[in-house]
Amino acid sequence: MRRWEKYYATYPLSVGRREYLRQVGHTVHGEPIGEEELRAMVSQTCALLDLQSTDIVLDLCCGNGLITKELAKRCHRVVGVDFSRPLIEIAEEDHRLPNICYRLGNVLDIERDRVIASQKYTKILMYAALQHFQPRDIEVIMRSVLKLCVPPPVIVLGFVPDANKKHNFYDSPGRRIKYLFRRLSGRDPMGMWWSEELVIKTCGSLGLRCEFHKLPEILHASRYRFDVRMS
């Protein structure tokens, strides 16, 4: 986690104050994804959450609020939390709506945040962030959010790197060499790759049932990522 905390403390502003997609890594070969791809991501996420106008959503690792704002247009209230001060500041300034509350904090300690813990949530989202955590971390996070959920829980883990399709990401000699070099230093550039089996093992022990979904084909990342809906 310290690696990612250091990274997101500086990277978002290094790519440009209004480069929202670059700031949170929604790029293909360094270029931001298109508007149609972003709409497809948001549409599938909202569908998996089954968002209703009465829902109260906890958006874990909300980043700069780009997706948080879209959730808020479709539900009653959203609380977004992220440990990156630059990203939360951008979210507050550029992606705020009256029914959004942004919080600076680590999702491993969400129960300590009085504002977050004072609310009961009908839906939980963690999008494009699972790779930043180890299985033991996710168990901690899931145990915390289950205490904050209105039963039955609905939890979506989106944009998860698929360990069985890693070769589709490292798909060129240059990328494979960079990957092998980083692995020798003990770091995968992507972070943690998850298999469906590992998700089931990690979350199933908490009594959560996992459904796996392919990303929309328009997304380049559909070749090596998947979504999970848990209940």
pLDDT the model gives residue 186: 65
Give the span between the Cα atoms of 151 and 173, in whole angstroms: 48
Q: Nearest-CA neighbor of 158 among 124, 188, 135, 201?
A: 124
Helices (H), 66-207: 66-72, 85-94, 114-117, 135-148, 166-169, 173-184, 196-204
| Residue 29: domain span | 2-230
> For 119-140, how does the pLDDT look when each residue is reduced to its tens digit (9 = 90+)?
999 999 999 999 999 999 999 9
- Which whole number is the average pLDDT over 162-166? 96
Q: What is the dihedral of CA 6, 33, 194, 213, to 10 degrees?
A: 140
Under the banding of pLDDT at 50, 70 and 90, the label for residue 162 is very high
pLDDT the model gives residue 106: 96
Percent of the chain exceeding pLDDT 70 equals 97
- Which whole number is the average pLDDT over 54-78? 98
Tell me the CA distances in angstroms from 122 to 53, 188, 195, one per residue in order: 11, 34, 27
Q: What is the CATH number of the domain that holds 36?
A: 3.40.50.150
pLDDT the model gives residue 187: 75
pTM of the model: 0.95
Per the structure, the count of domains in the chain is 1
| Residue 98: Cβ-neighbour burial (10 angstroms; 0-12, 13-18, 19+) | exposed
pLDDT the model gives residue 172: 80
